[in-house]
Amino acid sequence: MRVRLAAVVAVSAFALAACGGSNAAEDPNAPISVAVSPQPHGEILEYVDRELAPKAGIDLEIEKFDDYNRPNEAVANGEIDANYFQHIPYLDQYKSERGGDLVWVGPVHLEPLAVYSKQFKSVQELPAGATVTLSNDPANQFRGLKLLETNGLVKLKPEAAVGTRLDAAIAENPKNIQFKDLSPDQLPRSVDDAAAAVVNGNYALKANLQNPIAVESAQDNPYANGLVTSSKLVQDPRIKKLAEILRSPEVKDHINRTYGGVGVVPAS
């Protein structure tokens, strides 16, 4: 196994080409390189590489990214074989805006989106004119608005969907909440200043945020994070084996043991 933390501004095409992505299609025994967010995706994949992949005859190379764009770019460009960090709505939005040879393989886990606040104990306590921060990526921004709607803070227009502008998506905002969109990695820090912040699960884990005031339901949730690869590798036996392992009872048990059913839960 090789694990490497890839800084967004520092990873060069040469460095990425040195991993399995450049050779996997030609050599059936080559390592599989997978781009991940460090938490929880990297942690889960490290467990797979340590405990399960050797038995399946898979050699993994794990590339860790703190950014949501580079893992897709790397797979689309053939620099990395697969990635594991995103859900289908995010993938669809990314492809509609940027294109790229990216194919969904299968779900692994769900990170319920949550609202955090250091000032208030419920969404209903937020005062008039309060500032609420949420993601600036369209898929997770709409997801955050849906969570706030479920908790009665706003009402969305029936036609609102992923990609609808923030101001155009909201039909009713009785408390005149001031929304501020930030990059997902900045959201945990915004809890210190904003009345509340809607934070992606992996960044909440990284920042050790606790005691959310609202949590997204896992029931019938379309935002499960999963494995993505390219069209030329989607039928590769190693990719199929990896997808099967990631959906195995062993991995589901590991997720439940590690995260205690909070913040990260196996996909149904």
CATH of the domain at 152: 3.40.190.10
Cα distance between the two ends of the chain: 28
Could you tell me if 28 and 122 lie in one domain? Answer: no
Tokens of 70: 């580079």
What is the phi/psi pair of residue 214, to 5°?
A: -160, 140
Domain boundary among 198, 215, 232: 215
In the structure, what pLDDT confidence band is assigned to residue 7 with cuts at 50, 70 and 90?
Answer: very low
Domain enclosing residue 67, as ranges? 2-112+221-266
Could you tell me if 19 and 102 lie in one domain? Answer: yes
What's CA 147's distance to the chain center, in Å? 17
For 57, counting Cβ atoms within 10 Å of its Cβ (0-12 exposed, 13-18 middle, 19+ buried), the class is exposed
Distances (CA, A) of 54 to 34, 87, 211, 218, 255: 16, 27, 38, 32, 19
Least confident of 136-145, 200-209, 242-251: 200-209
**Coil vs helix vs strand at 66:** coil
Closest C-alpha among 219, 220, 191 to residue 203: 191
pLDDT in tens, 62-94: 999 988 889 999 999 999 999 999 999 999 999
Domain total of the chain: 2
Could you tell me if 127 and 182 lie in one domain? Answer: yes
pLDDT in tens, 187-198: 999 999 999 999
Residues in the chain: 268
